[in-house]
Amino acid sequence: MPLEIGAESLSLLKVGDIARRTGKTVRAIHLYEELGLLNPAVRSKGGFRMYRGDGVKRIEWIQKLQDMGFSLTEIKVFLRVWEESATAPKAMATVREIFTDKLRETRETIARLTRLADELSESLAFLEGCRSCDQGQHQRECGGCGRSDHEVPLLVDGIAKR
């Protein structure tokens, strides 16, 4: 008769194993548990958290949502909504809603960052002209060059003020 404990521990991972496989720290995993994002499958009789392989998947999922800009608290809400949905289609509908919102938000962020990148490019183009500035001029006298005010981008203009 084989040892049940041995057979069990073959497929169960300790928190440190999960940490290594996900790149997270043990502390982070503990935190996720405190927040209700991930529970160990069982505890060893000594109290060790024992996880199944899908614990790794759950953490990768959390990571991805974090990358998308969800806070851990939002992720928690996400899970609760899921768990409280009586039927699968209803649960999926909620998930679709959340994802749709986040997709819109992400696209807005992309648009905003694109505008900022454009501004940066403009500023850099403007700064090219500063190469030919009188080499001995002190930075405090910057602004004294011939370039008219309205062509100075805000990103550059703000520095020299004061």
Partner DNA sequence: TCAAACCCTTACGTTTACGTAAGAGTGATA
Partner DNA sequence: TATCACTCTTACGTAAACGTAAGGGTTTGA
H or E element at residue 85: none
The CA-CA-CA angle for residues 59, 64, 66, to 5°, reads 95
Q: How far apart are CA 139 and CA 38, in angstroms?
A: 56
Rounded CA separation 3/50 (Å): 17
Partner whose binding site includes residue 36, from its own copies, DNA, none (CB under 5 to 8 Å by kind): none
CB of 53 to its own copies, least distance (A): 10
Residue identified by tokens 């500063």 is: 130
Q: Which of 28, 20, 25, 55 is nearest to 40 (CA)?
A: 55
114 interface partner picked from its own copies, DNA, none, CB below 5 to 8 A per type = its own copies
Sheet of 42-43: strands edge to edge?
A: 13-14, 49-51, 42-43
Site string for DNA, 6-45 (x = CB under 7 A): ---x----xxxx-x----xxxxx-xx------------xx
CB of 73 or CB of 121, closer to DNA:
73
The yes or no reply on residue 151 touching its own copies (CB under 8 A) is: no
Give whichever of 9 and 137 is closer to DNA, judged by the CB atom: 9
Rounded to 5 degrees, φ, ψ at 39 are -115, 145
Kindly report the number of other CB atoms within 10 A of residue 27's CB atom: 10
Query: Under the rule (CB under 8 A), what is the footprint of its own copies?
Result: 38-39, 54-55, 57-58, 60-62, 64-65, 67-68, 78-79, 82-83, 85-93, 95-96, 99-100, 102-103, 106-107, 109-110, 112-114, 116-117, 119-121, 123-124, 127, 130-131, 133-139, 141-142, 145, 154-159, 161-162
Query: Under the rule (CB under 7 A), what is the footprint of DNA?
Result: 9, 14-17, 19, 24-28, 30-31, 44-49, 66, 71-73
